[in-house]
Structure 1
Amino acid sequence: MKIHTIDKLNLGLLLASFILACFLPFELFLFGYAFLGPLHYLTETNWIADKNYFVINTYWKYLVLGAAIIYAMPYVFSLPIFSQFFSESIILFFTGTVVKYTNFVLFFILISAILALFYKTYKAFVLSLLIAVLLSVWTYSSEAYILINGLLLPTIIHVYLFTVLFMIYGVQKNKTKYGIINIALVLGLPLSLVFLDIDIFHYQFTQGVKNNYVNNNFHALNANLAKLFGVYDDLRFFFYEKIDLKIQIFIAFAYIYHYLNWFSKTTIIGWHKQLTTQKTIIISVIWVVVLCFYWYDYRFGLVLSIFLSVSHVMLEFPLNVITIRSLFSSKLKINRK
């Protein structure tokens, strides 16, 4: 499929994602997160692994593995089923103590990813780890650190900001008309929510949708975005307030298009070429198993897919850094001309 055709396809996906998000802001997000999310995590992780994680020193992948396990453990041990097999003190250790360091490991991997692009020797590897630890500890307790790294980095920054940057990078390389239109849309559609009269949608959310959204703590992102935008002075979330609905439309749009954009780029970056028959079977089986858990209990499926989710976010860090560096280097070349 040619780039021109893919750009036209993405134009349709952008509009479809936004329209569906307007009509089904919570339902679309919950469905996409459960159905498209795990398949995205698995296929992108396979592609990144085939690219040697975009770093010079591949020891870095073991850091990601360890960090993802630490990050996922508090969520796993929060499931009621584990209370039957482990003592209260063990469960409290993971849910009360280890959980305090999830933000730390995420930021640590981000710093180490930046450094992993450059170090080659074992000594440099160890030195970079020390630098990453010091930077992580230095910023650990700040409010901005908790908001940006703990909440926004694995969510909106990952699914929206980096998606926009990838699109800009693609347009710089190919400069297609539809590519430019898509960038205008991905930036302009969320801004159009300021003027959109959402009363026309007559929202009515079922108790199941409300429970799945709140019980899985998805609403923390909404509340923090509302506070960040100056809507509320503290953390608040309501299902039927206009501003909360518009924030949710943006979140649903950002996530759904992030997933669809990845699958639409199959022929551009060729991530499907690394899918051998064996890998395809493994990925398909894991995906179906995760879907079954989501179907059985949304919370159960979410917790079991946390490791896949956070590891793919971490593994993408070097690619994010490379993309940002390429964007700036391209601008420098243009200015020099």
Structure 2
Amino acid sequence: MRGNDAIHLGLMLLAFAASYLVPFELLLLAYVVLGPAHYFTEISWLHDRSYYLPHRGIAAVLAIIAVIAALIDNASWFGLAMWGALVVCAMLAATTSAIESMLLFMVAIALSAIMYSSESSLAVIGILIPTPIHVSLFTLIFMVLGAHRSGSRVQAALVVVYLLAVATILLLPPTAEIRISSFARVGQDYFGNVGPALGRLFGVPGLVLDTRLTSLLAFVYTYHYLNWFIKADVIRWTEVPKARLAAMAAASAASTALYFYDYAFGFTFLLALSLIHILLEFPLDSLALRQLGAAMQGAVRARYAGPIAASATRSRSTGTKAAKRATRSR
């Protein structure tokens, strides 16, 4: 195991243990302290790569949409903004031809119509895209892609450990009590709508932000942030001018301080900042999803290409022997 992989595993297990011991406190502190540092550094990294978009101006539009979405009170309109931004980014970053873009657009229109027919569906998708989908699902996709590209069994094992940690929290939820009561109220303000949204998605009525769900969110959020920081030597997000790095550190600290100074304004600011980084990452997420599909397709072809080729070789060999016997008989 390489040193970086060992650190990776250690941080994952640390996040898992903390999510059992202090789930409510960990969720809030991770979001408020680690979150801004992640947002600013990733936006900087994406900026140097033109946000994986054909034009950087599109990124400015996405940022404006994110700020407007943070101020929207209507859950359905918020969901429409999230879903529409994801679809447009997928069309721009993950398609390679006009035909693919048109097919994706038609599928998106059909899915949008289905969600619109059910008033709660757009609201549900709006809640889930910036929370479990972005924080957990796409993190898992990037982990799988990294393990596939490197061919590392250790990185593949990290994927398994991550899934086992999630399963353990769901099947054996912690019984930790809230040590700081105000954190429960703040957690409810931030993430209270995630429980009902997941309940509607999976048909589980009455699902709320209890200790189980809080522990799960605490783990996936904390690991999501830590996973970004420990990849510095892989994706090299620290390789920026020192002045910019210092500015990001100062902005991150100021964002955290703002929240503790004025809860209401800090809440709105962090939500907007979080949504900006999520929407700006949509093109990369879409591209990663396409690459994962291509990797899976290649793995399936490789798995079955060998037996098919061997069967064809045996058939040719059998035909050759039969032809020789027929020649001798003549």
Coarse TM-score class (shorter-chain normalised): 0.7 to 0.9
Q: 1:111 touches 1:132 (CA, 8 Å); kept in 2?
A: no
Are residue 257 (structure 1) and residue 223 (structure 2) matched?
A: yes
Displacement of 1:317 in angstroms is 1.1
Match of 1:42 in 2: 40
Q: 1:266 touches 1:272 (CA, 8 Å); kept in 2?
A: yes
**The one of 253, 262, 277 aligned to 1:312:** 277
> Within 5 Å, which residues of 2 pair with 1:279-294?
279-294=244-259
Q: 1:25 touches 1:245 (CA, 8 Å); kept in 2?
A: yes
Q: 1:222 touches 1:248 (CA, 8 Å); kept in 2?
A: no
Cα distance in 1 between the residues matched to 2:156 and 2:94: 32
Q: CA RMSD in A?
A: 3.1
> 24-33 or 321-330: which moved more?
321-330
Cα distance in 1 between the residues matched to 2:108 and 2:145: 31
Displacement of 1:72 in angstroms is 2.4
Distance 1:105 1:198, change over 3 A: closer
Displacement of 1:259 in angstroms is 0.2
Q: 1:60 touches 1:113 (CA, 8 Å); kept in 2?
A: no
Are residue 150 (structure 1) and residue 150 (structure 2) matched?
A: no
Match of 1:57, SS state, is coil
Match of 1:77 in 2: none
Distance 1:262 1:272, change over 3 A: same
Displacement of 1:144 in angstroms is 6.3
1:172 maps to a residue whose letter is: H
Q: 2:67 touches 2:275 (CA, 8 Å); kept in 1?
A: no
1:72-125, Cα deviation, whole Å (9 max, x unpaired): 234xxxxxxxxxxxxxxxxxxxx56xx7532222111111101112789xx99x
Match of 2:311 in 1: none
Displacement of 1:217 in angstroms is 4.1
Match of 2:233 in 1: 267
> 322-331 or 100-109: which moved more?
100-109
Match of 1:210 in 2: 184
Cα distance in 1 between the residues matched to 2:95 and 2:146: 28
Unaligned runs of 5+ in 2: 303-330
Match of 1:170 in 2: 146
Q: 1:159 touches 1:255 (CA, 8 Å); kept in 2?
A: yes
Distance 1:172 1:212, change over 3 A: same
Q: 2:90 touches 2:283 (CA, 8 Å); kept in 1?
A: yes
Match of 1:247 in 2: 213
Unaligned runs of 5+ in 1: 75-94, 238-243
> Within 5 Å, which residues of 2 pair with 1:112-151?
112-117=88-93, 138=113, 139-140=115-116, 142-143=118-119, 145-151=121-127
Cα distance in 2 between the residues matched to 1:132 and 1:303: 33
Distance 1:137 1:157, change over 3 A: closer
Match of 2:297 in 1: 332
Cα distance in 1 between the residues matched to 2:208 and 2:19: 21
TM-score, length basis structure 2: 0.80
Cα distance in 2 between the residues matched to 1:206 and 1:331: 45
Q: 1:227 touches 1:234 (CA, 8 Å); kept in 2?
A: no
Distance 1:229 1:145, change over 3 A: closer
TM-score, length basis structure 1: 0.79
Match of 2:172, SS state, is coil
Count of residue pairs the alignment pairs up: 300
Match of 2:159, SS state, is helix
Distance 1:263 1:57, change over 3 A: same
Displacement of 1:224 in angstroms is 3.0
Q: What is the percentage of aligned positions where both structures have the same residue?
A: 28
- Pick the structure with greater CA Rg: 2
Are residue 19 (structure 1) and residue 10 (structure 2) matched?
A: no
Cα distance in 1 between the residues matched to 2:111 and 2:52: 22
**The one of 243, 266, 274 aligned to 1:301:** 266
Distance 1:222 1:205, change over 3 A: farther
Q: 1:154 touches 1:313 (CA, 8 Å); kept in 2?
A: yes
Q: 1:8 touches 1:178 (CA, 8 Å); kept in 2?
A: no
Displacement of 1:192 in angstroms is 1.6
Cα distance in 2 between the residues matched to 1:285 and 1:204: 31
Displacement of 1:146 in angstroms is 2.4
Distance 1:299 1:270, change over 3 A: same
